[in-house]
């Protein structure tokens, strides 16, 4: 929650979820410009499209990555560069091991966690990888500056 997040957490999350992809994208675009084409696929998260799927730092960072992705796709389309994102819902990874659930406040528990029970299922990393392969392939040659939601229907509620 915005009233609870400390500066160190905010900066850490922004560096990972915005600064890191930005720097990689900048390098990739410059390589792709010399080659005449290229494809970038970012992992955005449903949290980058919805406001209440995660904490404020994560949500803001993923919204920023959504904007960065869509802007890049649009701006470089005439140069043959496509940039899309994938917005997964819950995926079977070890991320839960990094969360200190004792620090989840009652307000976060009430506002964010209540929607988690509506998730029909968690996805497998391979399901997200197949979506990325599609977006990187020629089969998606007319898909640009978009975010593909891959969440098993969770965001439909």
Q: Is residue 2 part of a domain?
A: no
Q: Is residue 13 part of a domain?
A: yes
pTM: 0.89
Q: Is 58 among the residues known to form the active site?
A: yes
Q: Is residue 65 part of a domain?
A: yes
- SS3 for 35? helix
CATH code of the domain in which 60 resides:
3.40.50.720
Q: Are 40 and 72 in contact (CB under 8 A)?
A: yes
Q: Is residue 48 part of a domain?
A: yes
Separation CA 6–CA 113 (nearest Å): 21
- Predicted confidence (pLDDT) per residue in 49-75, tens digit: 988 878 899 999 999 999 999 999 999
Q: What region, left, alpha or beta, does residue 55 occupy, with left being phi > 0 and alpha being psi -120 to 50 degrees?
A: beta
Domain count, the chain: 1
pLDDT value of position 55: 86
Q: Is residue 131 part of a domain?
A: yes
Q: Is residue 42 part of a domain?
A: yes
Q: Are 136 and 33 in contact (CB under 8 A)?
A: no
**Residues, the chain, total?**
157
Q: What is the mean pLDDT of residues 142-152?
A: 97
Task: Please work out, in degrees rounded to the nearest 5, the angle formed at the alpha carbon of residue 13 by the alpha carbons of 105 and 21.
Answer: 150
- Predicted confidence (pLDDT) per residue in 90-131, tens digit: 899 877 677 776 766 776 666 666 666 677 788 999 999 999
Structural domain containing residue 128: 7-156
Q: Is residue 132 part of a domain?
A: yes
Q: Are 147 and 49 in contact (CB under 8 A)?
A: yes
Q: Is residue 1 part of a domain?
A: no
Given 58, 74, 76, 157, the catalytic residue: 58
């Amino acid at each position: 929650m915005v009233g609870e997040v400390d500066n160190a957490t905010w900066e850490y999350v922004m560096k990972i979820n915005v600064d890191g992809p930005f720097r990689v994208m900048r390098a990739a675009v410059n390589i792709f410009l010399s080659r005449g084409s290229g494809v970038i696929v970012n992992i955005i998260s449903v949290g980058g499209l919805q406001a209440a799927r995660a904490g404020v730092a994560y949500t803001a960072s993923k919204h920023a990555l959504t904007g960065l992705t869509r802007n890049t796709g649009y701006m470089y389309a005439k140069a043959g560069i496509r940039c899309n994102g994938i917005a997964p819902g819950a995926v079977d990874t070890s991320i839960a091991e990094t969360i200190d659930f004792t620090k989840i406040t009652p307000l976060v528990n009430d506002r964010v966690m209540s929607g988690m029970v509506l998730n029909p299922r968690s996805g497998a990393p391979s399901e997200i990888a197949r979506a990325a392969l599609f977006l990187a392939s020629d089969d998606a040659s007319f898909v640009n500056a978009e975010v593909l939601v891959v969440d098993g229907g969770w965001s439909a509620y």
